[in-house]
Structure 1
Amino acid sequence: MKVWALIARALEAHGTCAMVSVVKAEGSVPREEGARMVVTPQGFHGTIGGGTLEWKALAEAQALLGKPRAVRTVRQSLGPDLGQCCGGRVTLAVESFDASSLPEAQALAAREEQGPFTLTGRLPGAGIAERFGEVRRAVLLFGAGHVGRALVLALAPLPFDVTWSDPRPEAFPAAVPGNVTLIAGDPLGVVAAAPRGSLAFVMSHSHALDLAIVDAALRNPAIAEVGVIGSATKRARFEKRLREAGVDEARVTGLICPIGAGGIRSKHPAAIAVSAAAQLILLDEALSARASQGMLPARNAG
């Protein structure tokens, strides 16, 4: 979530807003350090974990709306203080912003657009490094059929930038989520232009087209993982043809088919999409963990 852009817009519209940040998390807690919630006179964006903790934090933030710039520190033990079973402890910073904060918010929003950044010492007395901005994984989705449409909706609130490709422009819906870019043309061009660390999931209207896209995707080292919708029989046929075409054995073996996190038997498009979305989250987390250890390039920042 790009919090400074939200704050800047709220100040432009209302002249006031507030932000709740998790600055310290100990033990079993709902959200990690750095989780944030922006509160405006019209509602709130983001979450620090829900439940009683968030309800009380929201009330603290709402009480600061319309007040001068200020920062409050709130410490909560989830068990003794709130009756929550998590048992951990959190320290929250609850900040109010007024019209005088707008230039700073606009400047920080501009920095967010350039990618993640860190601020140290922004919160009085906290002495912590705060990380802002988003790190988002590129997902290449091929096919605008029933599952493709459902998967795009499932990915809408997640930290993915989706390039949705189908050679049939009429197959796309009239409106798509804000994190989706439509490409109605040659899908192999989308494969060739894949950002580093991309995930590619293939579910076109044609098995022949699926095979062509998978072949090209497996040959592109910028694409970290390739999945294709289908059955065990389809996988066996694809593996045979990919090996005959000279695709690297490790890449063929690593092909994901069938797609999905497993355990869901339903063949309803929305159910398949949920399973595929869960698998994309798992792949993203695994790749990010390996990147943090210097084993892989990181995903896109933006």
Structure 2
Amino acid sequence: MAIDLDTLTKATERGPVARVVITRVAGSTPREAGTAMYVWADKTQGTIGGGRLEFDAIARARDLLVHGTIAEHVYPLGPRLGQCCGGSVTTMTEVFTAQTLPNLPYVRSVSGAAPIPPRIAQKATRLQPTERPISIDHWLIETAPPAVRNLWVWGAGHVGRALINTLAPLPDFKIHWVDISADRFPDHITDGVMQIIAADPARMVANCPRDAEHIILTHDHDIDFALCHGLLHHGFDAAGLIGSATKWARFTNRLMQLGHDRQSISRIACPIGDPNLGKHPQAIALGVGAALLAQNATTTTPKTGTA
């Protein structure tokens, strides 16, 4: 998977940090390749699997914070390490600071060797953003982050809050969260989520990128309809509306009366979510989140229902 620059940048704000990333696994292991954790002199964030493996990885990372910049290590997960998984894990540990991060290359040598060998460069050009980091002959290869997906969540009710809690930790989304007043939102807004208070949410549509994705789930059907109407005029990559089939039939008729053609209207998915998961707000959020993760930014939200 692509390097998580947002998390890495925030991590360096506390000072020098060592990122431990699993680049290769064999046999039975506690975590998969691509899993990363962050180690400072006084704390850690994330996990590569716990137990003696993680204990040793943290100790090596803290030593690297003082004495080095990048190191590779192979951990056999047998009796010698005090673990019984039976496989092996290869990690790459690297120290970053706020000063070194902006110049971060995505192909790096443990030994500091340069230039990049042709076969390493060729492998790097073929690595897709969704693929895990790999290490070859003590070179670390990982991809740049994919383009961030602009997601606008309209409505801060129960389903909106559940959806934000589900999606906000993911690095793929830049989330704008819109509702009509401050008291509609929770007291604490998750880091990285932009809160927008708009007495008339539909007027905010003009400020949305035309490649944005939208989930409409406000407390008011009139606001929902105005957002659908506005987005059809403005343009969007994908849009989903919470509601029943009856609600969507009424919306479709009204939107056609305003001059929108049926093909354009059909790009707005309604209902949203996965009916097999139920109608609890968190269940709806899980269904919507899974659909968003399963699709490319240019596809529409699957038409599976919620009430």
* Fold similarity call, TM over 0.5: yes
2:26 and 2:7 mapped to 1: Cα distance?
A: 24
* Pair 1:142-2:154 in alignment: yes
Q: Which SS does the other structure have where 2:277 is aligned?
A: coil
Q: Which residue of 2 aligns with 1:45?
A: 45
Match of 1:183 among 196, 202, 205: 196
Q: Identity over aligned residues, as a percent?
A: 30
After superposition, the Cα gap between the structure-2 partners of 1:4 and 1:203, relative to the gap in structure 1 and judged at 3 Å, is closer
Q: Does 1:261 align with 2:274?
A: yes
Q: Is the 8 A contact 2:238 2:297 kept in 1?
A: no
What is the count of residue pairs matched by the alignment? 263
The reply to whether residue 240 of structure 1 matches residue 262 of structure 2 is: no
User: Using the alignment, how far apart are the partners of 1:43 and 1:170 within structure 2?
Assistant: 35
> 1:122 offset after TM fit, Å?
4.0
The residue that corresponds to 2:209 in the other structure is 195
Partner Cα distance (2:208, 2:26) in 1: 39
Over aligned residue pairs, what C-alpha RMSD do you find?
3.4
Q: Give a deviation string over 1:16-54, Cα, whole Å, max 9, x none.
A: x43212334689985454x43212244322455x466xx
Q: Is the 1:200–1:226 contact (alpha carbons within 8 Å) kept by the matching residues of 2? A: yes
Distance 1:32 1:246, change over 3 A: farther
After superposition, the Cα gap between the structure-2 partners of 1:91 and 1:64, relative to the gap in structure 1 and judged at 3 Å, is closer
> CA 1:43–1:199 in structure 2 vs 1: closer, same or farther (change >3 Å)?
same
Which string of whole-angstrom CA distances, capped at 9 and with x for unpartnered residues, describes residues 38-94 of structure 1?
12244322455x466xx6145223244144115442346889997659x8x753213
Structure 1: gaps of 5 or more residues: 112-116, 291-302
Per the alignment, residue 297 of structure 2 pairs with 287
Q: For structure 2, which runs of at least 5 residues remain unmatched after alignment? A: 112-136, 300-307
What's 2:62 paired with? 65
TM-aligned CA distance change 1:260 to 1:121, over 3 Å: same
Classify 1:227/1:75 alpha carbon distance in 2 versus 1 (closer, same or farther; 3 Å).
Answer: same
- Determine the structure 1 residue equivalent to 2:98: 106
Q: CA deviation at 1:189?
A: 3.2
The one-letter amino acid of 1:259's match is: I
Structure 2: distance between partners of 1:22 and 1:157: 20
CA distance in 2, matches of 1:84, 1:257: 46
Kindly indicate whether the alpha-carbon contact (under 8 Å) linking 2:213 and 2:239 is maintained by their aligned counterparts in 1.
Answer: yes
Query: Out of 9, 12, 15, which is 1:11 matched to?
Result: 15
In the other structure, the counterpart of 2:219 is: 205
Q: Which residue of structure 1 aligns with residue 167 of structure 2?
A: 155
